[in-house]
Amino acid sequence: MRIHICAVGRLRAGPERDLIDDYLTRFDRTGRALGLGPANVIEVEDKKGGGMTAEAALLERAIPAGAAICAMDERGKVMTSPAFADQIGGLRDQGRGDLAFIIGGADGIDPALRAKADFALSFGKMVWPHMLARAMLTEQLYRAASILAGSPYHRV
């Protein structure tokens, strides 16, 4: 199952991008034998300032047809890492070819797009900067693959 992180905004070169790239590489290596990956980041940018509606249209175009959709949203479900791994493994086992995580802009994800998501995930009640949300998501993807592989990376 291919993983797509569809995010509003561009992440410049720097330590955050390096961290994200490192976790994506780890995920790809670990997930390959499990039928997970590759993972990629698709960045969209609303240069005309159309707000959430325009961002939603750009995000929808970035989501592969038939993909399961996870909205990264503060109103989403807070999950443990093992539960997140089970969620991903379950989608893979159902034969889903693609899983898209959507990260909205500064105002969040347009409600109409959020309603199309198969599930919503939250990293807690606090709001995180988008670059950190991406880094946390990529680390959790790697951790999920490690859990599914039985690797000692995740300790209880």
Identify the band that residue 43 occupies on the pLDDT scale cut at 50, 70 and 90: very high
Phi, psi of 152 (to 5 degrees): -80, 5
Evaluate whether residue 154 is within a structural domain: no
127 vs 40, 45, 143, CA distance in Å?
Answer: 23, 20, 22
Evaluate whether residue 129 is within a structural domain: yes
Q: Where are the beta strands (DSSP E) in the chain?
A: 2-8, 39-44, 68-78, 98-103, 119-122
Evaluate whether residue 72 is within a structural domain: yes
Question: In terms of residue numbers, what domain contains 19?
Answer: 2-149
pTM here? 0.95
Evaluate whether residue 156 is within a structural domain: no
Identify the band that residue 31 occupies on the pLDDT scale cut at 50, 70 and 90: very high
Residue with the two structure tokens 């969040």? 108
CA 92 to chain centre: 15
Q: Write the pLDDT tens digit of every residue in 45-93.
A: 988 888 999 999 999 999 999 999 999 999 999 999 999 999 999 999 9
> What is the share, in percent, of the chain residues with pLDDT greater than 70?
99
- The CATH number of residue 69's host domain is 3.40.1280.10
Distance CA 36, CA 30 (A): 8
How many domains does the structure of the chain reveal? 1
Among 76, 79, 88, CA closest to 147: 88
Evaluate whether residue 155 is within a structural domain: no
